[in-house]
Chains A and B, each alone.
Chain A
């Protein structure tokens, strides 16, 4: 099919491995996302925060070298860096604030635009399954959320371990596990929720509003339920509260006396993920059958 001939010719060239096609959707999505200067500015801004923490860790361990005129000051007397500090000062602000914003920006448009433009038929008429499509869309969010959560988190942990030595590492290794597992459960919840909403609500702004509402409305319901029945079990529908309990468990932060058990929180979050997955598999069809 040479351009100058303008004649059709079949294709007999190489074919890519099927597993490698999972990267096509994220690559295409990033190509579009990174055209937005606003998004690039936001991404840089999210990375400034861990950079600041990194500087803080460096100064903490090299205070005398950085500030030679204050030889009597020892930061370790004022603040001891322990594993749970990574939750309080890194994962909570980064995950809750930046992670949520990132999902709000990227998530709602991922599937809704394909549904609105009938693009699913084009994907599924090719050797590309619903699961692969979903995995591709999931990775778009998961990779970006990883870039701002557990990847810088583990780098900071490695830096602190370098300065703190083996003793510190052996006492606080759980923070690394917490950063990785805690980030991934949050990434899974955010990604699947935003994708499920995107598959239901075809208009981007409406999908964003719905994504926001799905965190706020259950929070209100949970509070009302708890107040009415004098219980804490209403929190099971409060995703943010459940994530907090799971994170506290991972970072060995003592639970509040009336908090739900960690197992219940895990169950609640995994249920949310399972429901979202089920909804997505139901909605992702090349054509909607009107019965």
Chain B
């Protein structure tokens, strides 16, 4: 069971999200299948192809769907037992068009802030501020129906942050945006993350969005956690990742590199990917190649990109539940066992 405080107050430093064998059925269809794990970073990406269960997971955490079994908590609060208290702390930007008809942007954001518990005067102030912040200051008295798609996305973000939530769920926030609007939206999310007063959960199928905004990624596939990845650690860690383009006896070179204690992958033709431990210098690789008369046509240093991690997770047809926030080395080893890095 997930431990939560009985008074409904989230504990300081509580995990943003924890899953304990969480299953969700819609009708007879199992959408989320036995999710277990936790995420710890300030900004979390929910990544997966269409139909992977990202939106259902967000909706379940918001209390829209009841888990059929298992449990989950957000900020240390149980999503079923403490749902109402939890929703006080949540900001939610839905994926599709969601607005109140016949009102201006400022009335819309004000209404949502009031329902979140802000007194009318503060709600109006915060509505103006939030709309300025997202870049709709000049359009705040226009009716929502007249907004372009990009403006509607900005207005949705404004209503999600106006009441000062502790955790912000963004469901495909860049959907349908042109490049300038997308860039602006990403910058806003980055600013909110850096401001530090709230966690950000970004659900998207766009790798670039997640990579730019998130510290930790939960990759979903067919309703299961296919992989997790701590991008923050990825960014910080000097992995000594090296990719060699070779001509010659690649297998024997890879074997020799592995004998040095390196993690090695030869799944792509003419390529050897290796993670060098601290004590192994690149010169040693050159020497091994020379001894085996293997030509090194190109040597590139490139850490694991999110795209590669995602591809690896997608190729793993089993869709394993992974423990969140694994150290990079563990992931690398898991990658090797799956036949890729």
List chain A positions with a Cβ less than 8 A from chain B.
1-3, 6-16, 18, 21, 24, 28, 31-32, 113-114, 116-119, 121-129, 285-287, 289, 291
Contact = CB atoms under 8 A, between A and B. Distances in A.
A125 B101 contact: no
B164 A289 contact: no
Contacts of A129: 84
Contact of A289 (B26, B92, B101): B26
B331 interface: no
A283 B27 CA distance: 16
Contacts of B26: 289, 291
Contacts of B107: 28, 31
Chain B interface mostly: mixed
B209 to A, nearest CB: 19
A13 B111 contact: no
Interface string B29-54: 10000000000000000000000000
Interface residues on B, range: 35 or more
A13 B118 contact: yes
A226 to B, nearest CB: 42
B82 to A, nearest CB: 11
Contacts of B101: 113-114, 116-117, 119
Nearest to B161: A8
Nearest to A118: B98
B115 A123 contact: yes
B191 A8 contact: yes
Chain A interface mostly: loop
Contacts of A16: 114, 117-119
Interface of B: 26-29, 59, 62-64, 84-85, 87-88, 90, 92, 94, 96-103, 107, 111-112, 114-119, 122, 126, 128-130, 132-133, 137, 159, 161-164, 169, 191-192, 195, 197-198
Contact of A32 (B87, B102, B118): B102
A32 B111 contact: no
Contacts of A119: 98-101
Closest 5 CB pairs of A and B: A11-B164, A291-B27, A10-B197, A125-B92, A113-B101
Most A-side CB within 10 Å, residue of B28, B90, B116, B162: B116
B112 A126 contact: yes
A122 B92 contact: yes
Contacts of A123: 115
A127 B59 contact: no
A122 B144 CA distance: 15
Given A6-B133, A14-B122, A15-B117, A122 B159 contact: yes
Nearest to A112: B101
A125 B91 CA distance: 8
B195 A8 contact: yes
Contacts of A31: 107
Given A117-B100, A119-B100, A11 B114 contact: no
A118 B94 contact: yes
Given A24-B115, A126-B116, A291-B27, A10 B132 contact: no
Nearest to B188: A8
A24 B100 CA distance: 13
Contact of A3 (B117, B129, B169, B195): B129
20 contacts: A1-B129, A3-B128, A3-B132, A7-B195, A15-B118, A15-B119, A16-B117, A21-B114, A24-B111, A28-B103, A32-B103, A118-B98, A119-B98, A121-B98, A122-B94, A122-B159, A126-B88, A126-B112, A127-B84, A289-B26
A24 to B, nearest CB: 5
Contacts of A285: 64
Contacts of B117: 15-16, 18, 21, 127
